[in-house]
């Protein structure tokens, strides 16, 4: 499971010219789910995301978490994070989980993040053609992969 976490001052997701999810200060989390992923990956990643201390404290140091700043999350499914680009110029997405496996894990991630935050998480629509608008604050962008959890 791979996530790109962007610290934002605001963000929204639009589908068919309708805003389906929006947040103020917090994170946009782009989430790629691969065939090898499971419940343990969701649980580990959710707690890591919610507890990331990348918001400024009184001294301007990145020392505060989402809880500390009452931040929110906009979670977007994005299978293209699992692109393999070793051969040729057309990416392969063979490792990306199919919807029947990915949707339950995506929904579990929504529940885990919501549970850790103590409030609902904004989302896009799984599999839809989404337009994401955001103001990356900092900019701060962090990439996490559950396959590398021993290195975190």
Q: Which residues are catalytic?
A: 78-80
Alpha-carbon span 45 to 116, nearest angstrom = 11
Tokens for 93? 């997405």
CA distance 72 to 52: 13
Question: What is the radius of gyration, based on Cα positions, of the chain?
Answer: 15
> What DSSP state is assigned to residue 125?
-
* The dihedral formed by the CA atoms of 11, 16, 19 and 20, expressed in degrees to the nearest 10: -100
Residue carrying structure tokens 């997405």: 93
Place of tokens 């629509």: 125
| Maximal C-alpha separation, the chain | 49
């Amino acid at each position: 499971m791979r996530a790109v976490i962007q610290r934002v001052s605001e963000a929204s997701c639009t589908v068919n010219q309708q805003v389906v999810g929006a947040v103020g200060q917090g994170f946009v989390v782009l989430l790629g789910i691969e065939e090898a992923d499971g419940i343990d990956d969701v649980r580990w990643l959710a707690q890591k995301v919610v507890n990331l201390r990348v918001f400024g404290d009184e001294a301007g140091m990145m020392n505060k978490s989402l809880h500390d700043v009452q931040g929110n999350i906009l979670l977007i499914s994005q299978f293209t994070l699992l692109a393999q680009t070793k051969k040729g110029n057309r990416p392969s997405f063979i490792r990306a989980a199919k919807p029947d496996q990915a949707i339950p894990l995506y929904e579990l991630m929504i529940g885990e993040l919501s549970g850790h935050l103590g409030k609902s998480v904004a989302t896009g629509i799984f599999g839809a053609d989404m337009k994401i608008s955001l103001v990356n604050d900092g900019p701060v962008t962090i990439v996490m992969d559950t396959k590398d959890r021993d290195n975190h």
